[in-house]
Structure 1
Amino acid sequence: MNAEKTVEKNPGKNAGKNADHRRLGRELGLFDTDPLIGAGLPYWLPDGAVVRHVLEEYVREAERRAGYRHVYSPVLGKRELYEISGHWSHYSDDMFPPMEVGGEQFVMRPSLCPHHAVIFRSRPHSYRELPLRMAELGGMFRSELSGVLGGLTRVRGIQLNDAHIFCTLDQVAEEAAGALDLIRRAHADLGIAPVRHRLSLPGPGGKYVAAPEKWERSIALLRQVLDASGVAYEEAEGEAAFYGPKIDVQVADPAGRESTLSTVQVDFHQPEQFDLHYIGSDGAKHRPVMIHRSVIGSVERAVAHLVEHHAGAFPAWLAPVQLAVLPISDAEHEAATRLADRCAGLGLRAEVLGPERGSLGARVREARLVPYQAVIGAGEAAADRVSVRLRDGRRPDPLPAAELVDRMSDSVRSRATDLWVG
């Protein structure tokens, strides 16, 4: 069904500095913390788990459509793994200390890339297989100091939307541009926009791999990608990864504080460290280039930004509850339950808020951040119709319950960031 659409007057647009995800996330029942679990280790409540699950499935689907294959890898690795990758010598201050197990030292991983390098080298590869796009939504751990921890933005356990593209040198620019385009489309679907793009370069000091030629080549490639994309960007020294430069896609919270949400990186270092190779058309071994890429960064930081940007009024496809069903009295409870079940059968998330929750006005206010509300009185129940209220206060004409479900399904399936009006 073609539904007329209009831009939603999102409650989040005027939230200003009050839209702090640490407060909102707890008020909305998305996440919380407990001293017994520890600082920087939030747990997800049911509504927050829904947002996280939908976001994770969205990015996996987007990656599958873009030709990525998904893997799982352990959250632990031997210390030797991170010595080879360079993390131990360049990044150990941010890693948890090793654990002694059976005379060997194991480390909670600070990054997924060493694991993916090992997975790549576990099988022989031909140039015909490249680019090989490997993705994982996996856990990693950072030994953050307690003074910098906060909400979901600075945590010690991270679920990272990570991917690594193993490709030939000639394929780097096209693959990096494709990753940047994937990031753009995801941000549009999520209803967010970056404040700037940054080309993150090495700075002075010993925290970077000493390989001037590799740095020059990788920086030139990323400049080429940014210039061809047409986006304005700034260069920032001292913001590169220890092994290579990055394109950082920056977002800002309501107070104007910037953070990096998405990245594209070019890495000549780890393919060499792990002795990665593929067989070229000449029958000889060749070294692949490794592109690191994250569409939404960590799930924690992405949800924090979405909470603040939308002030809890998520796009309908991402909302924990998409339809609040409000029977006026107990007599309409059966009709309300039928509507909620009809939604559930189509994968929509509906919740019945009955009279036991208070007056109709109180329930409308309780569901103020739910995209759609369906009010069912005696007349609506008898005719299998509903009176619809939209989150922004608009009230379309009553319509058949089946039509409401169809329109919601269309909106959610298309990942619309607006609400329709009949």
Structure 2
Amino acid sequence: MHDHRRLGRELGLFDTDPLIGAGLPYWLPDGAAVRHALEEYIRTAERHAGYRHVYSPVLGKRELYEISGHWAHYSDDMFPPMDLGGEQVVLRPSLCPHHAVIYRSRSHSYRELPLRMAELGGMYRSELSGVLGGLTRVRAIHLNDAHIFCAPDQVAEEAEAALEMIRRAYEALGITATRYRLSLPGPGGKYVADPGKWRRSTALLTDVLDRSGLPYEAAEGEAAFYGPKIDVQVTDGAGRESTLSTVQIDFHQPERFDLRYIGPDGAEHRPVMIHRSVIGSVERAVAHLIEHHGGAFPAWLAPTQLVILPISDTELPPAAALAESCARLGLRTEISAPERGTLGARIRDARLVPYQAVIGAREAAGDRVALRLRDGRRLDPRPAGDVLARIGALVGAHSTDLWEDAVS
């Protein structure tokens, strides 16, 4: 069993410091490389799916969250407001109010819908010190968030498409969902009081799950304050379950922010707001990936994708030339020079790196490399250009395979 808090520090991915504060980890270069690869993957997937990206401030006036309902239903988890020039501003606990305001800033026609708005943005939760730990429970969160503004008859199709995006992302990440949960309201006063909207949104999500063929369980008391949601659950090595991805239907905020679009009849209509996160927070996603893979990430995510191992100092120049070729292809590469130890010791040090390119005198003379794969396979020496092209193709496809025998 791997604990991401220990392993993440041992691998030099992230750390914390009392001067920065509890629940506020910082990312080291290798961790930043993993995070950047993950962020680029999801941004690209969203662009291909028709999402448009925005940026919005991490602060908002208290009034914004009073309108959205966060202040009434969620203020216990928010940081206290700050007085600023006669106004009160708050570190946002969620991105959805900002996206509602961005939608409202322009008029919209039914021809524009569904309008898919995405942002990988920061948000802040006033978590108690006792529940903070590593990357899974933090106070500064970077969420892969998106909001789809659509007509009522488009909701089911958009929610199904979001579930398919989640499925493909998990395949690329090499992880599996423990279960799908239909999160419903429970007893208590933290939910918006509108039974009709709750029945309507619950029926829509239930239909989406039934049509998808995914097994799911209903759970009371797990809904968002404004509506039910589909939560995709994952489990860590200690058996603890948490939500990584989510799809939510919201009739509440479009009404609170008076969101509208002009329908084919020329009249104004209210859009439905779908909240959707494919990989959840970057922090929780990376924590799960560290524990699931034990630091042996899929090649496209690995901090160092290829380590070059010259057998002697004589092969350092061709090793440097190979590293330059890797850089041109966008591969993250490191040269492990002979001064670091014997070849065997350097290979062991690089055991988590997906590809190890050994260069001896014969390889250097023929511009070839002897490739070793992380899973123990060794390939016969072959032209360096062919090797890099193959690795680049697998990385570009976000494959979890290290090598494809059918084309090797």
TM-score (norm 1): 0.95
C-alpha displacement of 1:107: 0.2
C-alpha displacement of 1:397: 1.1
Task: Work out the CA distance in 1 between the residues paired with 2:86 and 2:349.
Answer: 56
Ranges of 4+ aligned residues in structure 1 off by more than 6 Å: none
Q: What are the equivalent positions in structure 2 for 1:146-225 lying under 5 Å apart?
A: 146-225=129-208
- Whichever residue aligns with residue 303 of structure 1, its letter is V
Q: Would you say 1:73 and 2:40 are equivalent positions?
A: no
C-alpha displacement of 1:419: 1.3
C-alpha displacement of 1:393: 1.2
Aligned to 2:316: 333
Q: What are the equivalent positions in structure 2 for 1:362-373 lying under 5 Å apart?
A: 362-373=345-356
Which of 103, 120, 124 aligns to 1:141? It is 124
- 1:158-185 deviations in Å (ceiling 9; x for gaps): 0000000001111111111111111111
Q: Which runs of 5+ in 1 are unaligned?
A: 1-16
C-alpha displacement of 1:403: 1.4
- Whichever residue aligns with residue 163 of structure 2, its letter is L
Q: What are the equivalent positions in structure 2 for 1:16-165 lying under 5 Å apart?
A: 17=1, 19-165=2-148
- Whichever residue aligns with residue 128 of structure 1, its letter is R
Q: Kindly indicate whether structure 1 or structure 2 has the higher relative contact order, using CA contacts under 8 Å at least 6 residues apart.
A: 1
Task: Work out the CA distance in 2 between the residues paired with 1:130 and 1:402.
Answer: 46
Which of 278, 281, 296 aligns to 1:298? It is 281
Aligned to 2:395: 412
- 1:253-295 deviations in Å (ceiling 9; x for gaps): 1121111000000000000100111111111111110000000
What secondary structure does 1:73 align onto? Answer: coil
C-alpha displacement of 1:358: 1.5
What secondary structure does 2:100 align onto? Answer: helix
Identity value in percent: 78
Task: Work out the CA distance in 1 between the residues paired with 2:122 and 2:91.
Answer: 9
C-alpha displacement of 1:413: 1.4
Task: Work out the CA distance in 2 between the residues paired with 1:183 and 1:414.
Answer: 16
- 1:362-421 deviations in Å (ceiling 9; x for gaps): 111111000000111112111111111110111111111111111111111111101115
Task: Work out the CA distance in 2 between the residues paired with 1:108 and 1:359.
Answer: 52
- 1:78-136 deviations in Å (ceiling 9; x for gaps): 00000000000100000000001101100000000000000000000111111100000
- Whichever residue aligns with residue 160 of structure 2, its letter is A
Task: Work out the CA distance in 2 between the residues paired with 1:304 and 1:100.
Answer: 35
Aligned to 1:402: 385
What secondary structure does 1:231 align onto? Answer: coil
What secondary structure does 2:304 align onto? Answer: coil
- Whichever residue aligns with residue 123 of structure 2, its letter is M
Task: Work out the CA distance in 1 between the residues paired with 2:158 and 2:366.
Answer: 55
Q: Which runs of 5+ in 2 are unaligned?
A: none
Task: Work out the CA distance in 2 between the residues paired with 1:163 and 1:239.
Answer: 20
Aligned to 1:253: 236
Task: Work out the CA distance in 2 between the residues paired with 1:223 and 1:52.
Answer: 33
- Whichever residue aligns with residue 213 of structure 1, its letter is G
C-alpha displacement of 1:39: 0.6
- Whichever residue aligns with residue 354 of structure 1, its letter is A
- Whichever residue aligns with residue 122 of structure 1, its letter is S
State the superposition RMSD in angstroms. 0.8
C-alpha displacement of 1:58: 0.5
What secondary structure does 2:371 align onto? Answer: strand
Which of 312, 319, 324 aligns to 2:295? It is 312
What secondary structure does 2:230 align onto? Answer: strand
Task: Work out the CA distance in 1 between the residues paired with 2:178 and 2:371.
Answer: 36
TM-score (norm 2): 0.98
- Whichever residue aligns with residue 105 of structure 1, its letter is Q
- 1:320-374 deviations in Å (ceiling 9; x for gaps): 1110000111111101111111011111111101012121111111110000001
